[in-house]
Amino acid sequence: MSITGFVAAGFGPVREAFEKNFADGLEHGACFAAYLGDELVVDLRGGFADRAGTAAWDERTLCPVYSSTKPVGALVIAMLVERGLLDYDARVADYWPEFAANGKSAVTVAQALSHQAGLPGFPEAIDPALWLDPPTLSAELAKLAPMWPLGEGSGYHPLTWGYIAGELVRRVSKRSLGTILREDVCSPLGIDFWIGLPESEHDRCAELLKPKAAAQFPHKNVETRAAFLTPWAAAPRGTTEWRKTEIPSANGHGTAPAMARLYSAFAQMGRIGETRVIAPVTWDELTRERVRGEDRVLPGRVAFGAGVMRNLPLIYGPNPETLCHSGWGGSGAFGDPSTGLAGAYIMNKQVTHLLADDRRSKLIDALYGCL
């Protein structure tokens, strides 16, 4: 299995851990990258981008990162907060009046972004094609009653989070969330990450190997059913239309170095390289804890900022202040403000775990062991 890329001096154990994941049969194709401050210290890739094992995973290979997209979308929201177009403490309905329907008038922007709005999914059947029509899907979402009272904790919103975020941006800006990300951040900084992937880039996308077993969800409640377990809980993934649609909760596409670079904004208090994306005071508001406790959908105790997870439990290194997110199948990224370390892991051999992934953990542990 060919491994390409590099590690900086002193980071050899990360390459060894990456190679061992392949040697142990845990990977088909994967990449891992890390920045220490502004220096790219790890950029590794290996295996195959296609299911048949004929196309090598190279530096141009893109892969969907699923829910690891959410903190990137949250960063765009923070940019609009800083520009005075949104306010975390304002009600969602102040920008989107229809959202107030059925008892949601008090939900603030920060509460919605921290999975407290009570809308993890649709309890009654919808046409799954609506997920590819964000304005229409958002209009249907606004009609729903919350599934639990505001102030009684979080219930992870795997898909609906992105439609709330995207609609908020649509209500206050002439540009979409994905367009702002591309024009104001990724294009100027040369970051190969997209929310809403142009069809011209689709030939670079890795083919996914879905897990053979079904995901095991910790809760057998109505919230989890609405979030994940109905036939209408998601649109068909991997299709041309799905890749093109902006879903800020679920279909960001990128390389590991690109995702690690974006998560540098969490490791460096709003800065990516020499570019100040958001001011430290806005970073504080984005990342500070908004809710903590047993989640109604995810396993165990979690803590959320305004769209980014905090490192509870400690699956992204030893620092509980690290900002992070996991994606369906095993992808994940983090930014650690105590060390300035940011990293990202992307692969196409998916597993069923919702938060942790042993392959990713081995790489992160090796990375921290090199500091």
Domain of 294? 3-369
Query: What digits encode the pLDDT tens for the residues 23-34?
Result: 999 999 999 999
Q: What is the DSSP string of 25-76?
A: T--SEEEEEEEETTEEEEEEEEEBSSTTS-SB--TT-BEE-GGGGHHHHHHH
Which of 64, 66, 80 shows the shortest CA–CA distance to 249? 66
How many domains are contained in the chain? 1
At 354 the pLDDT is: 85
Rg (CA), the chain: 19
With cut-offs at 50, 70 and 90, classify the pLDDT of residue 176: very high
Query: What digits encode the pLDDT tens for the residues 300-355?
Result: 899 999 999 999 989 999 999 999 999 999 999 999 999 999 999 999 999 998 89
Which of 67, 249, 326, 331 is labelled catalytic? 67
Q: Which of 55-69, 119-133, 227-241 has the lowest mean pLDDT?
A: 227-241
Residue 212 reports pLDDT greater than 90: no
Residue 1 reports pLDDT greater than 80: no
Mean pLDDT (whole number) for 10-25:
98
Do the Cβ atoms of 176 and 196 come closer than 8 Å?
A: yes
Contacts of 277 (CB under 8 A, 6+ apart): 75, 79, 185, 265, 270, 271
Cross-strand partners of 294: 301
* Helices assigned H by DSSP within 107-149: 109-113, 134-142
The domain spanning residue 45 has which CATH number? 3.40.710.10
pTM above 0.85, yes or no: yes
Is 338 considered catalytic here?
no
At 179 the pLDDT is: 98
Query: What digits encode the pLDDT tens for the residues 246-302?
Result: 999 999 999 999 999 999 999 999 999 999 999 999 999 999 999 999 999 998 899
Residue 161 reports pLDDT greater than 80: yes
